[in-house]
Structure 1
Amino acid sequence: MSIPPPPYPPFPAPRPVPHRPLGAVFAVAAVLLLAVAVAVNGLLSFGMLFAGDSCGTSAGTARFCDDSGLWMLVAMLGPWVALGVAVVTVVLGAVQVRRPWSALAVGALVYAAGPTLALFTVFG
């Protein structure tokens, strides 16, 4: 005498993995924003090479044209440091917290602080 098999499987069937089309859209958006940020930083760095030329005239700001050169360094490297911090923010927010779109928005705000600081330093 044999025992009939149960009418249901003993373990639930694995669920199919859902597609993540928003993951691809997020990656494309993040890469495009990174490319724009690198282009903006390149233009700012090129402009900062010549920003010190006005220090001998009345057009230079007192903060930017001080003798230490610290503010020139802040204006030149500030956007690049802000870009690095923004990239780390987006990556950690997307991987650890699993909130990629809000991490991208926070990263954009963090990055915007760098060029803003550089332009405020030069134009005062």
Structure 2
Amino acid sequence: MPSDKNQFDKELFTPYFEQWQLVRGEIEAFYNQKDSRAVELMKIACQSYCELLELGGTAYDDRKEKAVFVLLPLNGEERFEFIKAKIASHYAFVQLDALMIETKKKVARLAIRKK
């Protein structure tokens, strides 16, 4: 995990967002064709998203009384669980795409705050 000093250096997170942009169209096309390769690529994308969240670190959430990933968007835990549970559904792709967009915005916001 990066040090606190550069924890939200956008450059550390850029490869994850670039990779998603490279595969998102392919995943969507596979879902539209009802091709099982969509599920395989989604599993890889989910693993990559987990790595992205881990890179951002955790913080203690008093309301949940546990450590949570700093980069998770609103209702991110529940939404990510939905994605994993319904990975064969096109809606899982839609939800992962939304999480990636929201996470990218959160990284940008936190990167500005850390400067």
Alignment TM-score, normalising by the size of structure 1: 0.39
- Where relative contact order (Cα < 8 A, 6+ residues apart) is larger, the structure is 2
Rg larger in structure: 1
- Which has more strand, going by share of residues? 2
